[in-house]
Amino acid sequence: MNPSVLVVDDEPMTRNLLRLMLERDGYRILEAADGLQALDVVAQEKPDVLILDVMMPNMDGVTVCERLRAEAETAALPIILLSARTSQDAIRTGMAAGANKYLGKPVGRDELIRTVREVLAAVPQTTD
């Protein structure tokens, strides 16, 4: 089964663009418009990786990342923060919150796909 990616961004055009880039590579896409909705989707759908905007209404991406890291079930969920904020302070804050990677907007398709593959490859495989 193809890995699922939860794309979280308050801009519908950004979600659509990311969805189109990822679907071309075979990923199953889930979407959320803000941090609160993202937490609900993670709990219900258990995505394989999260692409999370930093600046969003209701709950920002850094807070979502911290909340997911605090829960045993989602502590190892691969999280890629995606933001127009690319200062060293912003990147440090995102990584300190538990993000696996931090990408700047706009992101190119090749960089996005490569990053998703990297974080998925780093997940320890469990044997059932």
Cβ pair 83, 92 in contact under 8 A:
no
| Domain tally, the chain | 1
48 found inside a domain: yes
pLDDT of residue 126: 60
45 found inside a domain: yes
13-30 core/surface letters (b: 16 or more CB in 10 A; e: else): ebbebbbebbeeeebebb
pLDDT of residue 80: 98
Give the contacts of 70 (CB within 8 A, at least 6 positions apart): none
Average pLDDT, the chain: 95
Asked whether residue 119 carries a pLDDT value surpassing 60, the answer given is yes
pLDDT, tens only, 87-111: 999 999 999 999 999 999 999 999 9
pLDDT, tens only, 57-76: 999 999 999 999 999 999 99
Beta bridge pairs of residue 6: 30, 50
128 found inside a domain: no
**Tokens encoding 66:** 């911290």
69 found inside a domain: yes
CATH number at 67 reads: 3.40.50.2300
126 found inside a domain: no
54 found inside a domain: yes
127 found inside a domain: no
> Residue 19 sits in which domain range?
4-121
CA atoms within 13 A on the CB side of 124: 5
Q: Tell me the whole-structure pTM to 2 decimals.
A: 0.95
